[in-house]
């Protein structure tokens, strides 16, 4: 349970916003269905809470990365359709079947691993330009006759540059996907993840696979984010102090006070997912006051310059927003030199997590 008193930092996860994002994305799809990608513990937000909320919002199909994630999700959602991106690893076919999980077959080796269960539903991944997983065009041609005996219910591929709407690679990949899938008998086709949904109907096929956008990250970078914010990360002020030149702040003495300065030390650090690359570059908020991170972020502590903040807002235990209304995940990612995906999946396990559902 939540214990706001003990925790130095709090992560609030809004399951109402998650459900709202599911419907915002569904509204983009005139004919395709929408599956939720809940790999990596629902991108760090907690699959036990997120998956039932998505199911209640109307989702019946889910994707995970691994067999282990699949068997955990099967316990949470006994009725859902669950696909496993990593497919069938040697010796795991029986366990996949026992949990009623559908592997995505990614290679000739995996097709062979599934041979004995060819009558059971499987997905098939075609590589149209990622050089990562999936059959190459040549392998697809080689495998097509064998696959006629398989029960392929989903043929899929993955876009490399979908967040850039004008990237020529998008058109190339959709054309290659259409060409390759014509030789495979499959019930459904799927190409788009979060950003691909916004490339329009030619990219949506039967099923889209949304991950990061459900959790509030902007699927259309450079344009207004249509998604609702799902998380808020707040840390408490542990201590306040005044410093003046030539005093320095933190490891490596990377920040030196140039005038009388008030420093607040926050009970959060890189072990909690507040990344060290935000040292001397992150921005946090106290109310609507913008407050810069000064000095290096430590494992458990972060120092910020609160000189401009009114005195009555500064006291031990006061909450500071690290990710919140003024500072969404995408902005933190920019400040940290990474992407929203990594901010979410790096969120720590030490702080208090609590789940709300504003939208009844
Ligand atoms: C993770 C993943 C997704 C979801 O991608 P988002 O960009 O988070 O929506 C979809 N498809 C595949 C193959 C993935 O690995």
What is the per-residue pLDDT across 61-87, written as a single tens digit (0 to 9) for each?
999 999 999 999 999 999 999 999 999
Domain final residue pick, 164, 188, 215:
215
**Residue 5 pLDDT level (bands cut at 50, 70, 90):** confident
Q: Tell me the per-residue pLDDT of 332-360, one tens digit each, with 9 for 90 and over.
A: 999 999 999 999 999 999 889 999 997 54
C-alpha to C-alpha distance for 22 and 30, rounded to whole angstroms: 14
Best mutation site among 18, 28, 85 for ligand 1 pocket (most ligand atoms within 8 Å of CB): 85
Per-residue pLDDT averaged across 309-318, rounded?
Answer: 96
Q: Is residue 236 lining ligand 1, measured as CB closer than 6 Å?
A: no
Task: Tell me, yes or no, if 187 is annotated catalytic.
Answer: no
158 CA → ligand 1 middle, Å: 8
Does residue 169 sit in the same domain as residue 74? Answer: yes
Give the active site residue among 48, 94, 149, 251: 251
User: Does residue 2 carry a pLDDT above 60?
Assistant: no
- State in Å: Cα 18 to ligand 1 middle: 17
Q: What pLDDT score does 3 carry? A: 61
> Pick from 204, 226, 224: which is nearest to 216 by CA?
226
Closest CA to 136 of 145, 146, 126: 126
Residue 343 domain-assigned? no
pLDDT number for residue 192: 98
What is the residue range of 90's domain?
15-215
Residues 279-283 have a mean pLDDT of 97
* Active site (annotated) includes residue 259: no
Specify if 10 maps to a domain: no
CB of 86 within 6 A of ligand 1: the answer is: no
Residue 310 has a pLDDT of 97
What does the pLDDT read at residue 309?
98
Inter-CA distances, 50 with 4, 82, 214, 339, Å: 22, 15, 10, 21
Domain match, 239 and 281 both: yes
Q: Are residues 191 and 276 in the same domain?
A: no
Looking at residue 168, which CATH number applies to its domain? 3.20.20.10
194 CB within 6 A, ligand 1: yes
- At residue 1, the pLDDT reads 42
Query: What pLDDT band is residue 4 in, cutting at 50, 70 and 90?
Result: low
User: What's the rounded Cα separation, in Å, for the pair 87 and 105?
Assistant: 5
If asked whether residues 191 and 260 sit together in one domain, one would say no
């Amino acid at each position: 349970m939540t214990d706001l008193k003990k925790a130095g930092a709090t992560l609030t996860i809004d399951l109402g916003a998650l459900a709202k994002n599911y419907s915002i994305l569904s509204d983009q799809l005139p004919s395709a269905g929408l599956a939720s990608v809940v790999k990596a513990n629902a991108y760090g937000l907690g699959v036990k809470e997120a998956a039932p909320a998505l199911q209640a919002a109307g989702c019946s199909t889910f994707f995970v990365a691994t067999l282990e994630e699949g068997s955990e999700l099967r316990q949470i959602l006994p009725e859902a359709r669950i696909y496993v991106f990593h497919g069938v690893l040697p010796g795991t076919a029986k366990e996949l079947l026992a949990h009623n999980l559908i592997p995505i077959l990614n290679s000739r080796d995996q097709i062979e691993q599934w041979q004995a269960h060819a009558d059971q539903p499987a997905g098939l991944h075609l590589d149209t330009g990622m050089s990562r997983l999936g059959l190459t065009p040549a392998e697809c041609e080689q495998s097509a006759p064998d696959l006629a005996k398989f029960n392929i219910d989903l043929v899929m591929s993955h876009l490399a540059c979908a967040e850039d709407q004008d990237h020529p690679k998008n058109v190339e990949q959709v054309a290659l996907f259409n060409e390759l899938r014509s030789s495979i008998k499959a019930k459904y086709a799927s190409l788009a993840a979060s950003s691909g949904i916004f490339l329009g109907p030619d990219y949506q096929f039967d099923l889209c696979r949304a991950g990061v956008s459900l959790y509030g990250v902007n699927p259309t970078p450079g344009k207004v984010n249509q998604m609702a914010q799902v998380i808020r990360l707040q840390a408490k002020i542990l201590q306040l102090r005044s410093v003046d030149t030539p005093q320095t702040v933190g490891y490596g003495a990377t920040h030196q006070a140039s005038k009388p300065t008030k420093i607040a030390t926050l009970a959060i650090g890189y072990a909690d997912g507040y990344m060290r690359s935000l040292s001397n570059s992150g921005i946090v908020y106290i109310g609507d006051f913008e407050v810069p991170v000064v000095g290096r972020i430590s494992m458990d502590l972060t120092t910020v310059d609160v000189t401009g903040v009114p005195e009555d807002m500064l006291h031990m235990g006061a909450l500071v927003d690290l990710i919140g209304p003024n500072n969404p995940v995408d902005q933190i990612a920019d400040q940290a030199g990474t992407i929203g995906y990594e901010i979410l999946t790096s969120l720590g396990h030490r702080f208090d997590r609590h789940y709300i559902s504003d939208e009844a």
